[in-house]
């Protein structure tokens, strides 16, 4: 009987200790959230400067800095189609001082690619909220012999002279746009992988490749400057800034759709109170009129959301692109 009582006392003491520890952790998290942020915040971007993700991050970071009262520093960590930056976020301390702006590739496509990702999209991140969305634009240089989308298809089917198209990275929306068209149109176009939309555009302008499925923010300024010719857009509807450029669906491929999006992430261990504070700041930053104007001028459609809405959206995209990826051959 004495042994039984001792065992019960031990269990009771252990439970009390666990409860005290949990209470202490909760208090610590509450205290941290109350004083957050008290130092600069790093916003990791998985692509080189000059591309769409970088442009969106820097535009939104301006207002985030003002709202949070601490500098939000954009830190470019290009490579592996955005996976390097996403993995750094996943493995960072969950204190709210390392967050990321990830895209469709790193969160929804790359996990289904042959090499996978070193993180689990649905388990390793706190979803801070959606950022922006937009279609991609198939572009060539203005002096290219490819004058129309029909010309592009002819060139892309010429086995004797391969057509090389670029994108911002393996698994990116641009890459998937090209692979989906390659599959639907039965072309032999070859993909060239770059570490961001900026380097890919330099590759096109420098003659390394013949075309790019570029993000709207990267392509539109150069189209308006007369350096690029837009052949088609990959979204469900024509881009507001490119009303005369048809969708690929309009050009003989009904149902074709490949849109891009950027969303904010943090380590999964980030306290809910800090996630809530960051979400509120992100939504306010995106809805700021100056931010809206800058994003729209770059061809981006603001798409702020709650963290719960982002999780539901990313989960759906993860499942959708998983099914697509399994049908493609790389």
The confidence band for 18, taking pLDDT boundaries of 50, 70 and 90, is low
pLDDT over 90 percentage in the chain: 68
Q: Which residues contact 29 (CB under 8 A, 6 or more apart)?
A: 271, 273
* pLDDT tens digits for range 93-121: 999 999 999 999 999 999 998 889 999 99
* pLDDT tens digits for range 235-287: 888 888 899 999 999 999 998 988 889 999 999 999 999 999 999 999 999 99
Q: Which residues contact 320 (CB under 8 A, 6 or more apart)?
A: 108
Higher-confidence residue: 159 or 89? Answer: 89
Q: What is the mean pLDDT of residues 300-309?
A: 95
Residue 20's pLDDT is 58
The confidence band for 215, taking pLDDT boundaries of 50, 70 and 90, is confident
What sign for the dihedral angle of Cα 7, 8, 9, 11?
positive
Query: Residue 141 and residue 26: Cα distance in Å, rounded?
Result: 57
Query: Residue 83 and residue 285: Cα distance in Å, rounded?
Result: 25
Tell whether the model's pLDDT for residue 14 goes beyond 70: no
Tell whether the model's pLDDT for residue 288 goes beyond 80: yes
Higher-confidence residue: 241 or 199? Answer: 199
Report the 3 state secondary structure along 247-265. ECCCCCCCCCCCEEEEEEE
* pLDDT tens digits for range 169-194: 888 888 889 988 998 999 999 999 99
**Segment of 19-33, 46-60, 63-77 carrying the highest mean pLDDT:** 63-77
């Amino acid at each position: 009987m004495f042994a039984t009582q001792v065992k019960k006392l031990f269990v009771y003491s252990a439970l009390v200790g666990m409860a005290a520890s949990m209470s202490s952790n909760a208090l610590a998290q509450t205290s941290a959230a109350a004083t957050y942020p008290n130092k600069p915040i790093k916003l990791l971007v998985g692509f080189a400067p000059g591309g769409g993700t970088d442009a969106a991050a820097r535009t939104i970071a301006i207002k985030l800095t003002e709202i949070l009262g601490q500098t939000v520093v954009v830190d470019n960590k290009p490579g592996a189609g955005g996976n390097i930056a996403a993995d750094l976020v996943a493995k960072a301390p969950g204190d709210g001082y390392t967050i990321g702006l990830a895209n469709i590739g790193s969160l929804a496509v790359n996990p289904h690619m042959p090499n996978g990702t070193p993180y689990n999209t649905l388990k390793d991140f706190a979803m801070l909220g959606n950022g922006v969305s937009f279609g991609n634009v198939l572009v060539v240089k203005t002096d290219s012999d490819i004058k129309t989308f029909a010309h592009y298809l002819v060139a892309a089917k010429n086995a004797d002279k391969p057509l090389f198209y670029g994108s911002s990275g393996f698994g990116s929306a641009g890459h998937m746009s090209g692979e989906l068209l390659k599959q639907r149109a039965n072309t032999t176009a070859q993909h060239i992988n770059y570490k961001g939309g900026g380097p890919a555009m330099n590759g096109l302008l420098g003659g390394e490749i013949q075309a790019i499925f570029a993000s709207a923010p990267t392509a539109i300024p150069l189209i308006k400057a007369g350096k690029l010719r837009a052949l088609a857009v990959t979204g469900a509807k024509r881009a507001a800034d490119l009303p005369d450029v048809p969708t690929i669906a309009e050009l003989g491929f009904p149902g074709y759709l490949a849109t891009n999006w950027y969303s904010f992430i943090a380590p999964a261990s980030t306290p809910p109170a800090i996630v809530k504070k960051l979400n509120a700041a992100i939504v306010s930053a995106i809805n700021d009129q100056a931010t809206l104007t800058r994003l729209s001028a770059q061809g981006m459609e603001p798409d702020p959301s709650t963290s719960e809405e982002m999780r539901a959206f990313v989960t759906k995209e993860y499942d959708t692109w998983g099914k697509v990826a399994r049908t493609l051959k790389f």
